[in-house]
Structure 1
Amino acid sequence: MTQITTSGGVSLDYDTFGAAGLPPLLLIQGLGAHRIGWRAELCRQLADAGFHVIRFDNRDVGLSQKFPAGGYTLAEMASDAAGLLAALEIPAAHVAGQSMGGMIAQELALEHPDRVRSLALIYTAPSVDFFAGREVVDDRMHRPRARDRDEAIALYLDNEAPCASPGYQQDVAWLRELGGQMYDRDYDPDGIERQLEAVDRSRDRTLRLHRIDVPTTIIHGDGDQLIDVVAAKVMHEQIPDSTLTIHAGMGHELPSPLWTDIVEQIRRNTVRRSART
């Protein structure tokens, strides 16, 4: 666990998996999610596939810097990611983002193209217009704060229930453990609300996606209740030479039975660069 400050003055908490000499793969988390939500076992599987994996807490969550005044956008969060790479002396990295993290990844590819070697967009969208479960997210924002660790875990499990995959059993034991770890690291619902405001405040990327010129793979599930699978199809249409995989029975999560397939989809996309060049 390491803290680093970008040239923009933002303090970010990060950790890594795999040898530093391997091609870097930056993982960007979703709304309110700590970096540990990229499950360690999955990160090790990605490292075994040949990557130096970097995961970090976005601003306003976990152990990264808080921004009580809010007012930022996803573009600024993308600048945080670019700043992290620069601070780590990594000229460019393969990038994978899930949900809000996929939106940040799009901004990173659009505004800092020299920092991105390839792109994996996982159950994400080019704009808020594709939020099928917006009322679910809004409901989360208006719930009372947990008074202790047990309440925080119960609330987290309740919040994650709509993310479940209809074709796979949700790993509730892992989510219970994760909810407790997130509470222990930093419990700050206000930061999550500011992140959601950043999502709402950010511009629609749909008509700019054609500018993305790195190999891009788009991964979604047909059982996603939060972001409509149509979003994946629109991004596929807009991003030149992108690939699209819609996993049957997958919701707004990464079920462990699909990890091998998803890791291979990410790996295969990263090696498309030489052929495309």
Structure 2
Amino acid sequence: MSESGEVPAGTADGIRIVYETFGDPADPPVLLVMGLGAQLLAWREGFCAALVERGLFVVRYDNRDIGLSTHLDGAPRPDFGALLAGDPSSASYTLSDMADDAVRLLDHLGLAAAHVVGASLGGMIAQTLTVDHPERVLSLTSIMSTTGDRSVGRATEAATATLLAPPVSSREEALERSVVSARVLGSPGYPADPDEVRRRAGEGWDRDHDPAGVGRQLAAIYASGDRTARLADVAVPTLVLHGADDPLIDVSGGRATAAAVPGAELVVLDGMGHDLPEALWPQVVDAVDALVRRAGSAAAG
């Protein structure tokens, strides 16, 4: 059973964060951070339940500008040409601001620290949280993500076209777009069921849809730069998971992340693209659980 809640917009930036928890709060906490334009629903309940079965307390949440958390509707439109040229001034916020949202969530839940698991943009936020607030992170798991170094983790042309496609204008169009996206970005070794893809896309559309918010999240990535040098200071046990066949963030991004973090473990999953297919959940849960136990043993020692 899950419990829902929200972090009130009590700070100067007025950001409200909506979250759900699973399991016993007395168990080791795992904070799940999702990717670009992806709501907390993308951490599927079955995946959360599998972590709970390992004796973990799971928290999933909507990043700012997505889902039921605060959307910065009045913010200026990002200038991506300027952002790509190195001028971050048009970004409404950075990855550090998004990491601060996670800290506020931990504070709200009364958690001094958590095992942080991030996917894609969520992995970038998780990395930033670890370097900005090392005392709040017990272990780091970075999934299908990268360091911010633009020479690694590059997308294929087809993946870039999918990411930058014009916004959809209806629920029906959103469902069909989701099938196309899953075909391009998903795991070739574990193809998704189109009907299930449509069902989940409809669930997401009914809960929230805001293309402008996704654009602001993307701007935060470009505005935040390369984390490689700072990742050398990460001192917590770290796991890097990446699909060998990821077309949106090439596996070189995962390899660079693991190389940047001292002692990081790298697991490359054959047949995995830029998604987390259910067939791979047992392997991913095993790896996260082993990292949590390892981090607990290191802390006890």
Per the normalisation by structure 2, the TM-score is 0.87
3-state SS in 2 of match to 1:271: helix
Pairwise CA distance, 1:265: 0.2
Match of 2:114 among 54, 72, 93: 93
3-state SS in 2 of match to 1:211: coil
Match of 1:11 among 13, 16, 41: 16
Residue in 1 aligned with 2:35? 30
Count of matched residue pairs? 277
Stretches of structure 2 lacking an aligned partner (at least 5 in a row):
76-90
Residue in 1 aligned with 2:145? 124
3-state SS in 1 of match to 2:240: strand
Residue in 2 aligned with 1:51? 56
Match of 2:249 among 227, 231, 249: 227
Pairwise CA distance, 1:56: 0.4
Residue in 1 aligned with 2:219? 197
Pairwise CA distance, 1:76: 0.6
Match of 1:2 among 5, 25, 29: 5
Residue in 1 aligned with 2:210? 188
Q: 2:261 is aligned with what amino acid?
A: I
Residue in 2 aligned with 1:63? 68
Match of 2:124 among 103, 106, 110: 103
Residue in 1 aligned with 2:155? 133
Question: Please, which moves more after superposition, 227-236 or 81-90?
Answer: 227-236
* Residue 153 (structure 2) pairs with residue 153 (structure 1): no
Is the contact made by 2:159 and 2:247 (CA closer than 8 Å) also made in structure 1? no
Residue in 1 aligned with 2:80? none
Write the mapping of 1:69-80 to structure 2, written as runs, cut at 5 A: 69=75, 71-80=92-101
Is the contact made by 2:38 and 2:66 (CA closer than 8 Å) also made in structure 1? yes
Mark the CA change 1:111 to 1:34 in structure 2 (over 3 Å): closer, same or farther: same
Mark the CA change 1:36 to 1:97 in structure 2 (over 3 Å): closer, same or farther: same
Deviations 1:102-141 (A, max 9, x none): 0000000000111111111101000151342265565346
Is the contact made by 2:240 and 2:258 (CA closer than 8 Å) also made in structure 1? yes
Distance 1:45 1:27 in 2: 13
Residue in 1 aligned with 2:269? 247
3-state SS in 2 of match to 1:45: helix
3-state SS in 1 of match to 2:232: helix
Mark the CA change 1:189 to 1:138 in structure 2 (over 3 Å): closer, same or farther: farther
Is the contact made by 1:7 and 1:83 (CA closer than 8 Å) also made in structure 2? no
RMSD: 1.7
Stretches of structure 1 lacking an aligned partner (at least 5 in a row):
none
* Residue 188 (structure 2) pairs with residue 166 (structure 1): yes
Write the mapping of 1:202-221 to structure 2, written as runs, cut at 5 A: 202-221=224-243
